[in-house]
Homo-oligomer: A and B are copies of this chain.
Amino acid sequence: MANIETCPPLSRASVEAAAHRIKGKTHQTPVMSSRYIDSLASTAQARENLLNSEWNGQEPACPRLHILFKCENFQKIGAFKPRGAFNAILRYEEERKKFLRSSGSESRSLLPIRIISHSSGNHAQAVALAAGELGYEAHIVMPSVSTPAKIAATRGYGATVHFSGSTPQERLAVVDKLMGEEAFENVFVSPYDHPDTLLGQGTLGLELQDQSKILLPDQDLHGIITPCQGTGIQVFGSEPWFEGADDCRRGLCEGKRVEVVRSMSIADGLRTPVGEIPWDVISDPENVKGLFSVTEDQIRDALGLILQQMKIVVEPSSAVPLAVALYNEDFRRLIQNECQVRGLHVYNLGLVVSGGNFDILQLSQMLQ
């Protein structure tokens, strides 16, 4: 990736530059809504539903919510990750050209460039796709326990797959070996812990904001629930609660990042702990207004609602923000309060859904 020292800051202007950079490489995905889900979200939960929760015996909140689903399940590869992959590789190209120009040297251009990354999921396919479309070889390190479908999909985009053990250390060992091969100019694309990747992913927030201006011409988009960053809009984080997957929320309570998580939450895209750079963003209250977690049953219910009412297939992780909007009383009270304080008739809430990490058998078992 481009040298982290010379990277643009995580600002709105940088996200706009990234959006300009990747334009035409990624799809502008649609924004959808469901009257049924809006009415459900705008109705107080039954008191019985709160019986076994921390809100037992309390008055259920009744916010008025209009939810805009940003459908990144229709993005290339079925997830938002190509945004980051394209931005990272294109940024590298820019920096490389600058370097060659300034040094007057052609020496770096003699070796063939290859793109290297590691991932067990969507990022693997995203890097394979982006590298291929930009004319580079991709080498992706995947844990040997990855599902055959994911390995086949990554190869389907033209990448060479290298296998590793499943711990981060084992993955990185194989990456290091590849990076050391001197016959190539080896370019590493980080799955999440690099500004260029993050700024690329951030473009979906910008796109949602632009689309919401068209969909809601006289209104604002008031908030979004997602890990991505935004400006002028309230941003909320959401996590599974199961087996400690709520590492961000716990990290905020304890004042430092939780570095190890071992959760088998059905929201498999949200099992790993938050990276260092995202943590710096999330732990700043200027950026993220709150972090909320939900139970596995709540994730399952929200997933069923999205399938049934919106007729779109999303991965379980993508149901976590909707579960927060529907079932987390802390969040719902906060929104109810926002509406009162700001005199809003309805709170327009954006949610990003992604569909890449989805196995049909697993999904059908989950819904039984």
A: which residues have CB within 8 A of B?
30, 32, 36, 73-74, 78, 156, 304, 307-308, 310-314, 355, 358, 360-361, 363-368
Contacts and interface: CB of A to CB of B under 8 A. Distances in A.
Contacts of A361: 367-368
Contact of A364 (B73, B310, B368): B368
A368 B365 contact: yes
A203 to B, nearest CB: 20
Nearest to A153: B36
Nearest to A367: B364
B355 A311 contact: yes
Contacts of A313: 307-308, 310-313
Contact of A311 (B74, B304, B368): B74
A73 B307 CA distance: 11
Contacts of A308: 313, 358, 360
A304 B367 contact: no
Contacts of A310: 313
A311 B312 contact: yes
Nearest to A78: B311
Given A310-B313, A311-B355, 19 more contacts: A32-B74, A36-B156, A78-B311, A304-B360, A308-B313, A308-B358, A308-B360, A311-B312, A311-B314, A311-B358, A313-B313, A360-B367, A361-B367, A363-B364, A363-B367, A364-B365, A364-B366, A364-B368, A365-B368
A364 B362 CA distance: 10
A74 B30 CA distance: 12
A307 B367 contact: no
5 contacts: A30-B30, A73-B311, A308-B360, A312-B312, A313-B313
A311 B73 CA distance: 7
A36 to B, nearest CB: 8
A313 B73 CA distance: 12
A365 B311 CA distance: 18
A360 B78 contact: no
A215 to B, nearest CB: 14
A355 B310 CA distance: 10
A360 B307 contact: yes
A336 B78 CA distance: 31
A364 B368 CA distance: 7
Nearest to A307: B313
